[in-house]
Structure 1
Amino acid sequence: MEVEWPPAREPSAQRVWREILRPMAAQMRASAGELAQRAVARMQIELPELFADQQNVQENLVSTEASLRQLAQIIELAGDPRGVELPPSTLAIARSAVHRQVALADLMRLYRLAQERVWQWMLTHIVDKASDAADQAVALDLATGWLFAYVDEAMVRADRAYEVERDAWLRSAAAVRAAAVEEILADRERNEQRASKRLRYEVNRHHIGAIAWVEQASDSGENQAVLGDALAALANTLGAETTLIHSLGSLAVAGWMSRRDAFASDTLDAVGRGSRVPGVLPGVRIAVGEAGRGLEGFRRTHFEAGHARRVASLVGPRGAAVTRYRSVAVAALGTADRDHALSFITRVLGPLAADDEATFRLAMTLSVYLDENRSRSRAAERLTVHPNTVSYRVHQAEALLGRSVATDFLDVQVALAMLPARLGLARPRPDEL
């Protein structure tokens, strides 16, 4: 195998590379997910303002893990990091930082924080594996060269991507529109006529706010186009007349759909049942707020969509493709305090809060049964099962509860509404790892 990296061409350096650094790189690649979590946790502590929500955390986890795998591959192949092309997810963050008005200095700081965490990991590995002092010195010198050269090149390319995007952004109407959106959401803009002009979107109408997102970046880096298409498909389903799209980062976009007349309630109800919207690709998830009018409705429906997205992210794979705020409003309120929510669910439901699918099915059947005012037939219709099945599952659920559902009825109903989010609530935050 030809060694591209000049410092590794000496015979003694090649031996250290083969015996110490290549195995270290393989372990780095295998541990990239865990290392990324630790690096992002450090970023959150140092620059919390850049991690306003879980989506910002997720996109940085994806980008950092991809970069770690790339660095590991370079070391494994004794490659030259100075010619590397950044992963699409990393470039996407540099570009989206412009739209979110993240300072370039803060973006560069993220690289240095990640570099510090990775260097500590590499140092520990080398000291542990290299018993000979001379080998340890060579390994440290090589590892330092590879890491610093990679980070320097990554910063140069990210800087370039940021500058190109910023130049285009400043020349476009998108910057004016994004600034207007931020001022409206912050309740600093209260003039509907001026807001409409800045947005190029009529505010004095009926609005439905939505957020579309994906959990990880695509190899093509075309997430924004896919998410924009998803919201356009939703707007078409809802019968909207105009649509406004606003980027929330590389993995998420917000949108507003409007009509001069009110939205049909049955259409919104149909979307709120969680089935996939025609024209939306698999893997795209959508959260939808309730209809509102004017500037206040513009703000409120967006915040409701944000709460619905948070609940959908907590629910995870068990959740539907579309989450309507009205359907999860109780869960949104109840899970605002994570530790309190977990304690409440566990105390009220006891064994009925177990994680296995069979128990979860019993709990959800009981939830639907209570939502339908204890009607077996209506619950059976919603669940597409026989009424006797509903009765059987309700009895089993009550057995696990150890009491009738008539006891602490409200507490039970609220805890059941929060239960799908339990696994997400129990997951440690990156800053707890």
Structure 2
Amino acid sequence: MHGFAQEAVTDQVADTFVRKIDDRVLDQIPTLAADPMLPEVLHGSTRSQWRSFVTNLTSEHQFALPGPAADLARSLARRGADLGVLLKVYRAAQHSVFEFFTEVTDTLDASAPPRDEVLKYMWSRAEQWMNDSVEALIETFYEERQQLIEGALLRRTRLVEDILRGSATNVDQASNELSHPLAHWQSAFIAWTASPDAADATDRVLDIANRVARELGAPRPLTVMAGSRDLWFWVATPTRPELASIAHLDSTLDTWQIRLSAGSPSPGVQGFRTGHAEAKAAQRISLDAVIPRPVTAFADVELLCLVADSPAMTQRMVLREIGGLCGADKNLAQLRDTVLAYFSNSLNVEATADQLFVHKNTVRYRLTRAEKILGHPLSNRATKVDLALRYVALFGPPKP
């Protein structure tokens, strides 16, 4: 058992456990799987519970609820979920935990204790741990819910939810209650921490929201803490803002391990809704990306959002359209970056050169090389080539 406990805390075993447990949980609770952020919070909870459990497996039972597990309860409470969702998570997990332990004991050789004794010991400890977890999490869930009920935060959150659902809204009254001019141009964002262990996650995402508002010329954003690690916020401006102005926040976002997704600015209550929907779609792309960017704007990944539910077909399209540019070679990566910048700058060579900090003749040379590899001018099938390049920039070259 000591040997198993030492091996079980390694990343390889922990990853296997998390994948087995969470796959069942997400399969049985579709509403959990449909949320862009909750699966990430669930993974952090399951991993922390597993490591805490196996660390105590060979000693007297001493339960302590890990922080990421409490974050899952708080996130569900903040999203208005019923307590039953949290309880269903642990009911679904119980079955997979028992299957996992059965698989572990099946690998024991003749020198080990009897398998049924080992399984009985591990399962009894796991059952005790999960029972203690559920009791502690119920308390955490209701404490968080009570804070929401007693505070103005709940009223604001419910009003925002009503607007997002499309309920009839008195714009002037809602603007006064939210201290947010809904008739102005609305820029919707989602900020979240990439690290589940960040102790000051809430303070950091709120700081980023305030910085974004200042960059766009707004006094303050409207914020809703949607979970333990993710913040929804809107910035209102009298005229259409230029989102490119937030690009220099990239270094801060990287340092703080925060990611940001942005919807397209649109005016009024309709813009408030559509911008948020686009920010959520861009967030999902960022969470799935192999090479995530600090900021993911919906305008840059809109086509990827539309094909996100057909990954196999998308990969075949990428290989068909830009297969010759898909290698891992640095020179090919340079060509891809140049062509993508060229498309992003409306096929303007000078603007592309300025963006890449190279001479315009260098840009022309790279574009010519890319056309030679593709076998046709870039103006041909430009939409599909652009989509394929954006896919590789986020997810890496697909395997043939």
Q: TM-score, normalised by structure 1?
A: 0.83
Structure 1: distance between partners of 2:105 and 2:392: 45
> 1:51 is paired with a residue of what secondary structure?
helix
Higher-Rg structure is 1
Structure 2: distance between partners of 1:166 and 1:370: 48
Structure 2: distance between partners of 1:157 and 1:408: 57
Residue 332 (structure 2) pairs with residue 352 (structure 1): no
Larger relative CO (CA 8 A, sep 6+): 1 or 2?
1
Root-mean-square deviation over aligned CA pairs: 2.7
CA deviation map 1:195-232 (0-9, x unaligned): 33554534233321111012231252x32222112111
Residue 3 (structure 2) pairs with residue 26 (structure 1): no
Structure 1: distance between partners of 2:185 and 2:378: 40
Identity of aligned residues (%): 22
For the 8 Å contact 1:328–1:417, the answer to whether it is kept is yes
Residue 130 (structure 2) pairs with residue 154 (structure 1): no
CA deviation map 1:274-316 (0-9, x unaligned): 6527698521111222322221121122122223323333444
Q: 1:80 aligns with which of 46, 52, 60?
A: 60
- The one-letter code matched in structure 1 to 2:184 is R
Structure 1: distance between partners of 2:398 and 2:196: 24
For the 8 Å contact 1:25–1:73, the answer to whether it is kept is yes
For the 8 Å contact 2:325–2:370, the answer to whether it is kept is yes
CA deviation map 1:237-263 (0-9, x unaligned): 21213321112222211001224x225
Q: 1:37 aligns with which of 19, 29, 32?
A: 19
Structure 1: distance between partners of 2:31 and 2:397: 23
Provide the residue aligned with 1:53 in structure 2: 35
Query: What stretches of structure 2 of length at least 5 have no aligned partner?
Result: none
For the 8 Å contact 1:209–1:290, the answer to whether it is kept is yes
Provide the residue aligned with 2:232 in structure 1: 254
> 1:129 is paired with a residue of what secondary structure?
coil
For the 8 Å contact 2:392–2:398, the answer to whether it is kept is no
Aligned residues: 397
Structure 2: distance between partners of 1:425 and 1:250: 34
CA deviation map 1:303-346 (0-9, x unaligned): 22223323333444352x22333333344345454333222222
Q: 1:398 aligns with which of 363, 371, 379?
A: 371
Q: TM-score, normalised by structure 2?
A: 0.89
Provide the residue aligned with 1:416 in structure 2: 389
Check 1:41–1:279 CA distance in 2 against 1; reply closer, same or farther (3 A cut).
closer
Written as runs of structure 1 = structure 2, the 5 A alignment for 1:163-182 is 163-182=142-161
Query: What stretches of structure 1 of length at least 5 have no aligned partner?
Result: 1-20, 427-433
Provide the residue aligned with 2:188 in structure 1: 209
Q: 2:206 aligns with which of 204, 228, 236?
A: 228
Residue 350 (structure 2) pairs with residue 377 (structure 1): yes
CA deviation map 1:126-179 (0-9, x unaligned): 232153796323312221221111111111111111121112111112112212
Provide the residue aligned with 2:100 in structure 1: 121
> 1:211 is paired with a residue of what secondary structure?
strand
